[in-house]
A = this chain, B = another copy of it.
Amino acid sequence: MNIVVQGLGEMGASLALILNQQSDNHVIGVDTKDATRKAALKSNIVSEISDNLIDVAGQADIIILATPVSIIKQAMKELSKIILKSNVIITDTGSTKNEIMAFANSELQHVAFIGGHAMAGTHKTGVTYADERLYVGTPYFLIPNQMGQQRIKQLKTVLAPIQAHFTSIDVTAHDDLMAMVSDVPHIVAFALVNAAVKQLGPSENFGQYVAGGFKDTTRIAQSDPKLWTDVLLSNKASVLTNNRALIAELEAFNQALTADDAMNLTKMIHAAQISRQRLLVRRNDD
């Protein structure tokens, strides 16, 4: 089976690495960066490389778009204009789905498109972080267009070696969930670092006084700026709603503090403590 993977970053390269190890598969890696393509080929992450999706898309049985959302949309537009194998399945790894599925339901409605999103990945970027264990046990959302509905089972079979936990979800529920559990926490990390610099000066000045709490809370502030600009804008409505919900909770703390309301402060902190302790249903980490 010919599998084209566009975008050999951590997510795409990890998929390519695992799928290319299966004897039935021939994985073709597409990336705009020459060094990335060569590194992927040399490490057997892919068996063939190309700098242009359209050159290799016509021979693909599966096309995996693993770039930032804006590039996925562009690729979908290009794919909608060319002749593909009649039984091709196109999927993607974009972390927000409303714009992608809108396009999949209009210009790409004649093709089996199954939107994909795995709750995996770190803040590391690049082909060197390809990891064959990246998807093991992680939730992997699948959102098909009409043509894709009959093909979910087949896509799951192809992706089975990544050992993800596949789950069907509605596009709106997906994007609201992502806003709250991923997008807003990133904004929080960015905002907390920027607020600290405004209040205390350059981070070199206060870094020596920082303990584990600040470090944990801001770890994801090290994420890629262009990627996250793209993510936040592509999920704008849900992000705004959920960020406002967070601000309301922060204001509630300020109100309780201003009123010296120890009972309410303890109540809010206790609620958070209990909810955070009950969060851990999937893994045994903390």
A207 close to B279 (CB less than 8 A): yes
Q: Give Cα A233–Cα B194 distance, bound, in whole angstroms.
A: 24
For the complex, is A262 an interface residue (Cβ under 8 Å from B)?
A: yes
For the complex, is A24 an interface residue (Cβ under 8 Å from B)?
A: no
For the complex, is A186 an interface residue (Cβ under 8 Å from B)?
A: yes
B214 close to A185 (CB less than 8 A): yes
Chain A interface residue bracket vs B: 35 or more
Q: Which residues of B contact A236 (CB under 8 A)?
A: 257-258, 260
A139 close to B254 (CB less than 8 A): no
For the complex, is A276 an interface residue (Cβ under 8 Å from B)?
A: yes
Q: Which residues of B contact A212 (CB under 8 A)?
A: 122, 220
The majority secondary structure among interface residues of chain A is: helix
A262 close to B233 (CB less than 8 A): yes
1/0 contact trace for A256-270 toward B, CB 8 Å? 011010100110111
Known contacts A188-B192, A213-B182, A246-B191; A258 and B275 CB within 8 A of each other = no
1/0 contact trace for A270-286 toward B, CB 8 Å? 11110111111110011
B272 close to A190 (CB less than 8 A): yes
Q: Which residues of B contact A265 (CB under 8 A)?
A: 228-229, 232-233
Q: Which of A188, A212, A246 has the most CB of B within 10 A?
A: A188
Known contacts A217-B185, A275-B202; A191 and B260 CB within 8 A of each other = no
| Top 8 A-B residue pairs of the complex, sorted by shortest distance between their CB atoms | A191-B249, A190-B272, A225-B269, A221-B276, A225-B270, A193-B272, A207-B279, A203-B275
Contacts A193-B275, A232-B257 known; list 5 others, CB within 8 Å: A188-B192, A191-B253, A203-B278, A225-B270, A246-B250
